[in-house]
């Protein structure tokens, strides 16, 4: 890794087509001796080889440069969420891809509901949504009820056992409204849920959202992303919970 970090500019400029030393000096704006040392080190490591055009990357060089770029992207993504991640324990399972080109909304002392407001906005704008929710947030519950009057296609909602208990005991009317709507499917999962997660889709795009909870069960932050890798990871997370859930319509509501 140290060699790749040190000689990455040379390895990147060389490419797979081949290039001579003079062109390397001109493009990198470094001395000939620097290029000579770099080529020797990269060639000895099997990352470069001589060709009729001068020097070119080997397959090993191509693969390692690709891995290096992926590592750099993940590092940038983690640094983008540095303030949030610093507050979380190492036990949280959070893939760095969710921070790629993400919008992060954090709760503040003056407006602790900002993350949930942003989460609701994501759901409100979609034609099809899938949501996993560990707790009942009144603003989010109102948004789900509002879906019944909108031109959405379908909404799948996975709730934790504590969330279902809260609906049954404190929000009976809203629960009955949601159960009566054929386009909304409520599910219950027995697993402990660490995050609130949603995928919101229309005919041409998909956006993922993730709510990180604080140690009191409130919304600490909201992360929204349209990056394909991040949306795919969030979708897998939701699908896993859906497969382990039971439709609420099949359970007695007491």
Residues in the chain, pLDDT under 70: 73-92, 250-254
What is d(CA 194, CA 70) in angstroms, rounded to the nearest whole number? 27
Asked if residues 223 and 99 have their Cβ atoms less than 8 Å apart, the reply is yes
CA distances from 127 to 156, 162, 185 (A): 12, 28, 14
| Predicted pLDDT at 224 | 93
Domain residue spans of the chain: 2-70, 92-250
CA distances from 221 to 78, 79, 111, 135, 141 (A): 15, 16, 12, 15, 18
Asked if residues 224 and 162 have their Cβ atoms less than 8 Å apart, the reply is no
In terms of DSSP bridges, do strands 184-189 and 246-247 run parallel, antiparallel, or are they unpaired?
A: antiparallel
| Best CATH choice for the domain 92-250 from the list 3.40.50.970, 1.10.10.10, 3.30.870.10, 2.40.50.140 | 3.30.870.10
Fold annotation for 2-70: Arc Repressor Mutant, subunit A (1.10.10)
| Predicted pLDDT at 95 | 75
DSSP-derived 3-state class of residue 48: strand
């Amino acid at each position: 890794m140290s060699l790749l970090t040190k000689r990455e500019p040379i390895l990147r400029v060389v490419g797979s087509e081949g290039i001579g030393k003079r062109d390397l000096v001109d493009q990198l704006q470094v001395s000939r001796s620097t290029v000579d040392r770099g080529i020797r080190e990269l060639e000895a490591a099997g990352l470069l080889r001589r060709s009729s055009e001068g020097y070119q990357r080997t397959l090993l060089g191509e693969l390692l440069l690709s891995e290096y770029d992926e590592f750099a992207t993940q590092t940038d993504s983690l640094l983008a969420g540095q303030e949030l991640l610093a507050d979380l324990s190492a036990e949280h399972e959070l893939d760095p891809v969710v921070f790629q080109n993400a919008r992060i909304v954090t709760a503040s002392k003056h407006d602790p509901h900002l993350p949930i407001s942003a989460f609701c906005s994501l759901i409100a704008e979609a034609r099809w949504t899938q949501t996993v929710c560990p707790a009942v947030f009144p603003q989010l519950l109102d948004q789900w009820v509002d879906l019944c009057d909108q031109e959405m296609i379908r909404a799948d909602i996975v709730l934790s056992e504590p969330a279902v208990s809260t609906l049954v005991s404190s929000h009976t009317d809203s629960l009955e409204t949601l159960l009566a709507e054929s386009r909304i499917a409520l599910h219950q999962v027995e697993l402990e849920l660490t995050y609130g997660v949603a995928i919101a889709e229309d005919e041409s795009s998909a956006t993922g959202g993730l709510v990180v909870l604080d140690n009191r069960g409130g919304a600490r932050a909201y992360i929204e992303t349209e990056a394909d890798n991040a949306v795919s990871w969030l979708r897998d997370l939701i699908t896993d919970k859906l497969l382990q859930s039971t439709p609420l319509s099949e359970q007695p509501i007491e």
